[in-house]
Structure formats: structure tokens, C-alpha cells
Amino acid sequence: MTKAIKLLTALPQAQRERLMELAQEVSFPEDSRIFEAGGTADRFWVIRSGAVNLDQEVTPRKRVTVASLGAGDLLGWSWLFPPYTWDFGAVAFSRVRAYEYDAAAVLALSVEDPLLGLSLVRTVAEILASRLEVTRGKLLDAYVGRRPV
């Protein structure tokens, strides 16, 4: 399994500092819904403390948790790809403190600073690849009972 990639620590210091200039500190109470699948993805967060569950509605009465995120994790990547709608829902599992970023401002900064934009896209891609690998492992465990050697 690959090591979890944290957005802010993965970026070079100068780029991290530029991105942090756009950060707003926010918090979410326990059990609050942060966003819903299908909603407009116009921002993202880096979790400072607490835990967030990503979920998928499988029936009108049932949601399945597909991932759990904690300190340092990126919450939300749909802002980077058309059609800019959330693929999953997110709910605060505990009280959450986070840095919130306005997607339009980050995208504008990425145009102004193409190296930052490239680093950001590469880092988000690495995060997504890592999460897919974790999900694949969970599916193998759940449906096969063991992982291949």
C-alpha cells in the first residue's frame, strides 16, 4: 500500500505558502453534512483536525461510507474537473477544523503561477491514485476474502 499523500506537505514550500494565502479557517460540527453528491463543487478543504466520512447514497434510506479522512487530508477534488459536481457526499464524523479554499481563486492562481498549477494537479492525481489503491484493497478484502500475493 502506498503512503498517504497530504496536499500541503507534498507541495514545495514556496507554492504551499502561495496557496495558504487563499486559505480560510472553517469548522464543522459533528454530524454536519459538508456537501452532497451532485452539488456544485466550488471549493475544497484541507482537514486540520477531526474526521470526515465520504459517503455514497445507495438507496434513499441507505448511505455507505466509502472513505474516512483525517488531519492533513484533502477533502474534495471535484472542483478540479468538469462538470464540477461532487461525486460523493461528505459528513463530519467528529468536530472538524479545516482550511477552506475557493476553487475559482485557486484556479486563477494556477493560471498566474503555472508551476503551482502543475504541482497542484500532480499532487491531487497522486492523492486520487492512492485512494483508488486503498479502495481496491478494501474491495478485494470484502469480496475475495484476501488480497493476491
Per-residue pLDDT tens over the stretch 1-45: 345 689 999 999 999 999 999 999 999 999 999 999 999 999 999
Q: Is the dihedral of CA 124, 119, 71, 78 positive or negative?
A: negative
Q: What is the pLDDT of residue 82?
A: 94
DSSP three-state, residue 15: helix
Write the pLDDT tens digit of every residue in 38-76: 999 999 999 999 999 999 888 888 888 888 999 999 999
pLDDT band at 134 (very low <50, low <70, confident <90, very high): confident
Q: What is the pLDDT of residue 142?
A: 66
* Length of the chain as a residue count: 149
Asked whether the predicted pLDDT for residue 122 surpasses 80, the reply is: yes
2-7, long-range: CB within 8 Å, 24+ apart, which pairs? 2/129, 2/130, 2/133, 3/130, 4/72, 4/73, 4/130, 5/123, 5/126, 5/127, 5/130, 6/46, 6/72, 6/73, 6/74, 7/46, 7/72, 7/73, 7/74, 7/123, 7/124, 7/127
Q: What is the pLDDT of residue 66?
A: 85
pLDDT band at 117 (very low <50, low <70, confident <90, very high): very high
Cβ(113)–Cβ(15) below 8 Å: yes
What is the crossing angle of helices 114-143 and 103-112, to 10°? Answer: 130
pTM: 0.88
Asked whether the predicted pLDDT for residue 135 surpasses 80, the reply is: no
Cβ(25)–Cβ(97) below 8 Å: yes
Cβ-proximal residues to 14 (8 Å cutoff; 6+ apart), any chain = none
Residue type, 25: E
- Report how far residue 127's alpha carbon sits from residue 7's, in angstroms, rounded to the nearest whole number: 8
Average pLDDT over residues 99-103: 98
